[in-house]
Chain A
Amino acid sequence: WRAQLVLSCFEELLDFAVADVASECHRIARLGLDRSVDAEEEELRLWAARVAGDHPGAEDGATRAAGGGGGNKGAPDVFGQTHPAIAADVVDCMNCGRPVVAGRFAPHLEKCMGKGRKARAKTTRSSTAGRYRNSNGEEHSNHTFQES
């Protein structure tokens, strides 16, 4: 009976550990905190859905997309103006120099600067070159970026 008792005590402890994790996850789910973890994924998914089923000025596509925090894009604003759901202006990336659609700039920059999850970690500079300056004059350290 002693061995069984020891085992049962362990099982009690394990049940506490399980309840602990479940409690934390329950809180995260109810408070929507997991959205910050999946925000990147969510953003890309929504963007892909908008691009696939949307065109500038259409309200349907914009209102169909889940309202993440930015509200409805494409619906008329207080001045009666409509703006495309995806900003269509083209800008030049200051990191790699490529022209990028403004509405795609953030995801581009994530990959471009090597911060995104799916970015490849290729070093294009030697490890001794610790810092470099970009065109804005800001200092970065050991960032990797894709070969253009």
Chain B
Amino acid sequence: ACPHRPCPRGAANLRSRTGCEVGFWFLKLVESGEKERLMELLRERLVECGWRDDMKALCRAYARKKGRNNVTLDDLIHVITPKGRASVPDAVKAELLQRIRSFLMSSSLW
């Protein structure tokens, strides 16, 4: 397993949904600015492939059903997360994984 542990400082204690402690490495991504670059790339790809539009449609449908003033942000996140994770095109996922891997490998601690 990864020998590095998340920094004791609170901000870096990011745990992914899989429970894997990515805090240490994710902090590296954030500190170097690479996280922002990756987010830009991911956003762009998700717009291009229509993923963002699909998620917006799900949200709109949910808001109509529940009444737009009864909708919370948490609701919407829970509504779209399963479909959102499942519907990322393989090519987009592969591209991002490759970028992340390259970046982490370039770190001397990897």
A residues touching B (Cβ–Cβ < 8 Å)? 1-2, 4-26, 29-30, 32, 34
Q: Knowing that A1-B1, A8-B18, A11-B16 are A-B contacts, what are 14 other residue pairs whose CB atoms are under 8 Å apart, sorted by A's residue number?
A: A2-B104, A4-B18, A6-B104, A9-B16, A10-B100, A11-B18, A12-B26, A13-B35, A13-B38, A22-B79, A25-B55, A25-B63, A29-B63, A34-B68
B59 neighbours in A (Cβ, 8 Å): 21-22, 25-26, 29
B5 neighbours in A (Cβ, 8 Å): none
B85 neighbours in A (Cβ, 8 Å): 11, 14, 18
Residue B12 at the A interface, CB < 8 A? no
Would you call B18 and A32 a contact (CB within 8 A)? no
Would you call B38 and A8 a contact (CB within 8 A)? no
Would you call B73 and A21 a contact (CB within 8 A)? no
A32 neighbours in B (Cβ, 8 Å): 68
Central interface residue in A1, A13, A19, by most chain B CB within 10 Å: A13
Would you call B71 and A26 a contact (CB within 8 A)? yes
* The one of B1, B25, B71, B81 that contacts A18, using a Cβ cutoff of 8 Å: B81
Of chain B, the residue at the smallest CB distance from A26 is B73
> Closest CB-CB distance, B75 to chain A, in whole Å?
8
